[in-house]
Amino acid sequence: MLLFDYNIYKIMINKETLLCYYVVMKRLIFTDLDGTFLNHHNYAFDESFEALKKIKEAGIPLIFTTSKTKSEVELLQEKVGISEPFIVENGAAFFIPENYQGLDLSILNGYEDKKIMLFGQPYSRILNFYRLYKEEYGMLGMSDMSDAKVGELTGLAQGSVFLAKQRDFSEPFIMKDESKLQELTELAKGYELKITKGGRFYHLMGELQDKGIAVIETIELFERLYNEKVYSMALGDSENDLPMLERVDLPIVIQKHDGSYLETGLEKTEKSTYEGSKGWNEMVLKYV
Ligand SMILES: [Mg+2]
């Protein structure tokens, strides 16, 4: 049976009968937020309207995969008008609404009104390392920043700063002297922690926590829930998106605000011709 609701097909060849037929694949879309779904400067997503509509109509899970916190993602989803699964704090945890698409989620643990898969380390452990070395390495973490400072660095309104500071698994920070970064990174390894670079901050987090691991686990979860293989695509713009882009069938890089592109080293990478939400809209419309 052929269904034409989807426009990505996998051509399968049955060796015995030499019949060629199409298999309609279910799809997943992972997307970074800052500089990808949201514009770098004003956090707007207005230009993604058409693509969002197409994703909704096709019933494709749109999985925000971000360094943002759970509170921030939930507020953004409300503004966008969606209730979808999401991955927070650079792969620390995956959340999915109860009864999402009518799927049986009983294999997952409950977390408030959602189900969860947890990959990160507790915030207390992250903060212990940060507090031990912040002076020696000139780190200024979000937990030590005033709301005004966070607002200044992120461009977030004061109401949103409160949500950005509700962290569960990672500490964003800036450094006075970035030449010490390599040494600090080595030191963090000894504590089973690591440092990644996002659009505005470095992020200190658990060693095994990255967007890539969370993406692999999420794909496996959906393949189990749907009981079939899925076709995955991901959109991102920065270094911390690399592990996510490496794990999907179609990696898409969105142009940065300065006109440059993340170098993925992956052969099949597609690049948008516009930055931020306009580029996001362009690429989703092209491939969904
Ligand atoms: Mg980004």
Segment 9-30, tens digit of pLDDT: 555 555 555 555 555 799 999 9
288, 55 contact by CB (below 8 A) = yes
Q: What is the pLDDT of residue 2?
A: 40
Which of 167, 182, 206 represents a domain boundary (last residue)? 206
- Of 32, 210, 237, 241, which one is the catalytic site residue? 32
Average pLDDT in the chain: 90
User: Same domain for 44 and 102?
Assistant: yes
User: Same domain for 84 and 36?
Assistant: yes
Distance CA 247, CA 231 (A): 11
Using alpha carbons only, give the angle 80, 70, 124 rounded to the nearest 5 degrees: 165
User: Does 12 fall in a domain?
Assistant: no
Query: Is the whole model's pTM more than 0.85, yes or no?
Result: no
User: Same domain for 28 and 113?
Assistant: yes
Which of 160, 175, 206 represents a domain boundary (last residue)? 206
Q: Is 47 helix (H, G, I), strand (E, B) or coil?
A: helix
User: Same domain for 42 and 140?
Assistant: no
Tally Cβ neighbours within 10 Å of residue 232.
25
Q: Which domain covers residue 198, as residue numbers?
A: 123-206
Instruction: Give the pair of three-digit tokens for residue 213.
Output: 């691991």
Q: What is the pLDDT of residue 276?
A: 95
Q: Is 203 helix (H, G, I), strand (E, B) or coil?
A: strand
Which of 187, 206, 225 represents a domain boundary (last residue)? 206
- If you measure from the C-alpha of residue 16 to the centroid of ligand 1, how many angstroms do you get, rounded to a whole number? 47
User: Does 5 fall in a domain?
Assistant: no
Number of domains in the chain: 2
pLDDT per position as a tens digit, 92-137: 999 999 999 999 999 999 988 899 998 988 899 999 999 999 999 9
User: Does 47 fall in a domain?
Assistant: yes
User: Does 9 fall in a domain?
Assistant: no
Residue 141 carries which side chain, given as an amino acid letter?
G
User: Same domain for 112 and 37?
Assistant: yes
Phi, psi of 216 (to 5 degrees): -60, -50
- If you measure from the C-alpha of residue 143 to the centroid of ligand 1, how many angstroms do you get, rounded to a whole number? 21
User: Same domain for 114 and 128?
Assistant: no
Helix (H) or strand (E) holding 226: helix 211-226
- If you measure from the C-alpha of residue 113 to the centroid of ligand 1, how many angstroms do you get, rounded to a whole number? 27
Longest pairwise C-alpha distance within the chain:
70
User: Same domain for 200 and 223?
Assistant: no
- The CATH number of residue 171's host domain is 3.30.980.20
**Which stretch of 79-88, 191-200, 229-238 has the lowest confidence by average pLDDT?**
191-200
- The CATH number of residue 229's host domain is 3.40.50.1000
- If you measure from the C-alpha of residue 158 to the centroid of ligand 1, how many angstroms do you get, rounded to a whole number? 21
User: Same domain for 167 and 232?
Assistant: no
Give catalytic status of residue 34 as yes or no: no
pLDDT per position as a tens digit, 62-91: 999 998 899 999 999 999 999 999 999 989
